């Protein structure tokens, strides 16, 4: 089974070190790992969140395309710079768009890497993890990855590409942990959906469609169509 990872950088500047980390992660996955694919997904073109831009069950074109990428992914790799002790505005905006009902982040594995001065962007990790609680993202706990880009030896070239071998090895460790956690989550979800009898409410909850009672019932009925097993609760 191949784990599909969407990589999102919270920095949209051209020479971003955080984007450089994700480019390196893509290379590491291709050259050193099996069963994992990493795709960089751009967020700079997303409009600022404004629910006036939404139609009945629709979003702006760029938002729809972004949400589709997230929905189809097995897991998420965030590169999160630290802005004022928190995540960046572009990253929060992307998270909020994909979290609009129906939330497409739910029950995916996730990992965070960051690069910057001092603590290496580490404070942003904790705000991002807090956000993840509400949108049902499941972050790996270890290894943590905070990179001080100004501590010798040099980590990046003049174009923002990662050149440090030790840092690439740490990225590899993050990807391996994310892959393993993603597989465990998928196996657990399979056990719940296929092996265990569920109530209608549980089916609807797992499918992330509880925006109101009507959508709950409709989604549950769609999920249960053709299912003849026993129901509990």
Q: According to the model, what pLDDT value does residue 121 have?
A: 87
Q: According to the model, what pLDDT value does residue 212 have?
A: 46
Q: What is the end-to-end Cα distance of the chain in Å, rounded?
A: 33
Q: According to the model, what pLDDT value does residue 119 have?
A: 84
Q: According to the model, what pLDDT value does residue 223 have?
A: 47
User: pTM for the complete prediction?
Assistant: 0.81
Q: In whole angstroms, what is the distance from residue 121 CA to residue 113 CA? A: 8
Angle at 202 between CA 201 and CA 204, to 5 degrees: 65
CATH dotted code for 3-195: 3.40.50.360
Q: In whole angstroms, what is the distance from residue 17 CA to residue 21 CA? A: 6
Mean pLDDT by 10 residues, the chain (233 residues): 96 95 98 96 98 94 98 98 95 98 97 92 94 97 94 92 96 98 83 55 53 46 42 36
Q: According to the model, what pLDDT value does residue 120 have?
A: 87
Query: Omega before 78 cis (within 30°)?
Result: no
The structural domains of the chain, with segments of one domain joined by +, span 3-195, 197-233
Q: In whole angstroms, what is the distance from residue 141 CA to residue 26 CA? A: 21
């Amino acid at each position: 089974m191949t784990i599909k990872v969407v990589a999102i950088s919270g920095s949209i500047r051209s020479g971003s070190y955080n984007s450089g980390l994700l480019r390196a992660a893509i290379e590491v996955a291709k050259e050193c790992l099996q069963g994992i694919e990493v795709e960089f997904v751009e967020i700079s073109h997303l409009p600022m969140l404004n629910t006036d831009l939404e139609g009945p069950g629709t979003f702006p074109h760029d938002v729809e395309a972004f949400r589709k990428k997230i929905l189809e992914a097995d897991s998420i790799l965030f590169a999160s710079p630290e802005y004022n002790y928190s995540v960046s505005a572009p990253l929060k905006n992307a998270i909020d768009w994909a979290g609009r009902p129906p939330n497409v982040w739910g029950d995916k594995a996730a990992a965070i890497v960051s690069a910057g001065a001092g603590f290496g962007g580490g404070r942003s990790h904790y705000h991002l993890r807090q956000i993840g609680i509400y949108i049902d993202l499941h972050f790996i706990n270890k290894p943590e990855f905070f990179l001080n880009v100004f501590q010798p030896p040099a980590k990046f070239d003049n174009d923002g590409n990662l050149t440090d071998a030790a840092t690439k090895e740490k990225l590899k460790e993050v990807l391996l942990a994310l892959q393993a956690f993603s597989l465990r989550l998928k196996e657990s979800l399979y056990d719940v959906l296929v092996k265990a009898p569920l109530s209608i409410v549980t089916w609807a909850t797992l499918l992330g469609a509880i925006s109101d009672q009507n959508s709950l019932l409709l989604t549950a009925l769609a999920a249960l169509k053709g299912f003849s097993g026993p129901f509990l609760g």
